[in-house]
Amino acid sequence: MAIISIGLSHRTAPVALRERLAFTPEEMPGALTALRERFGGGVILSTCNRMEAYVSAAGGESQDDLAGAILRLKGFPADEAQPGFGRLTGMHAVRHLYRVAAGIDSMVIGESQIAGQVRDAMLAAEEQGALDPTLRRLFHSAVGVGRRARHETAIGRETVSVSSTAVQLVRRLLGDLSTLTVLLVSAGEAGKLAARHIQEFGANRLLVTNRSPERAQELVANLGGRAIPFAELGDALSEADVVLSSSAAEHYLIDRAVVEAALHRRGERPLLFIDIAVPRDVDPAVAELPGVHLYDIDAIQAIAEENLKTRSGEVDKVERIVEEETTRFAEWWRAREVIPTIAALRTRAEEIREAELARTLARLPGLGEEDRRRIEAMSAAMMKRLLHDPIATLRRRKGSRYVEALQELFNLPGNAAREADADPGGPPEPQ
């Protein structure tokens, strides 16, 4: 068995490709079911900046098999050139996931949302029965790495996120927000974070619209502003100076036609769009209109790189945590290879001990109960002493050469590796 992963992120692919491979919440159950049926299990981590899939390939499946499965799920034509997925196996895949969960592979280094997104990906796989024991161990430990990074370093100090960085971009472009009207399209988690930062920087008016009007009302009730029915989006565009969009819609919410109509009611006032959604909310053709400026999530990169400079020392500390936890996982991974062989050896020895003990006691019918217990205890102690050295050597050396030698010498079953996934051991449930 091997852990394999494929994926792409803001580092390797533009938003136009990332949005084609993003999995919506509605798509996720079917996709996870497909991975479970094809590979025995799987986890998909899909965020605004990355799409990654992880499986523990018990049947010798390859990274090409996993890449093909993902592309079919997303409807890529068979004759279309495949995107350049990053492909990782074994501890390279483990280390990468740990870096992601710790926030040091994010566009905004140290951003706080990714740890929850890793946890949500794990829980979604659990709900669909796609979280096999190996992936369960891997993702539980990844959540733990994220927790350690936040508690033991200052990587998450002065909490940052894509939403907060988007608001920084608005301030960089427009300066003082106190005379501006900001329209927020989406009342999800990213929208809530953006609304808080908009208010912190003193925007004159905050308008909120959402396809679910209840969520928009809830946000303005907590943070202020005015909820706008989604059907009145065009009117809201005519009022706004800045539009910050972060929905989970599968298609454009704001197209060229609706913006063009709003511009006729705006006079000469310019309109700034910050679209941090993946898939994108704003049709790129909007940027062709006079007086309109559009920035998508890839435009956040410059500010994110500045953020990295201020946190570089903390990144080194997090990297050390990642290496420690990768080593721990590697030790568990190697140990899982020997655990079934050790169990089989003990079972075989116990079968022999019990058979020989029964045969001996049958020849001594007049033996008292106390003496019978002493003989039984002596046989158990002898077996334990005899097995101690080979078991200790196997645990210490941990290699297929030793496993195979022990299986041959003691005529043990050779299917130990398949039984390893039954090992219930693992880190505690994340709190």
SS3 content of the chain, % helix, strand, coil (to 5): 60, 10, 30
In sequence order, the 6+-apart residues with CB closer than 8 A to the CB of 103 are: 109, 110, 111, 112, 114, 115, 146, 149, 150, 155, 156, 318
Q: Is residue 4 among the annotated active site residues?
A: no
Residue type, 268: E
Per-residue pLDDT of 205-254, as tens digits, reads 888 888 888 888 888 887 778 889 989 998 899 989 899 888 888 889 99
CA-CA distances (angstroms) from residue 242 to 167, 179, 227, 261?
Answer: 10, 11, 16, 16
pLDDT at 413: 75
- Other C-beta atoms closer than 10 Å to the C-beta of 364 total 11
Q: Which residues of the chain have pLDDT under 70?
A: 1, 157-160, 302, 304-312, 397-400, 414-431
pLDDT at 399: 60
Cα–Cα distance measured from residue 74 to residue 307, given in angstroms and rounded to the nearest whole number: 33
The structural domains of the chain, ordered by start, are 2-157 (3.30.460.30), 162-290 (3.40.50.720), 334-422 (no CATH)
Pairing of strands 181-185, 242-245: parallel
Q: Are 187 and 216 in contact (CB under 8 A)?
A: yes
0.75 surpassed by pTM: no
Q: Which of 3, 48, 276, 412 is catalytic?
A: 48
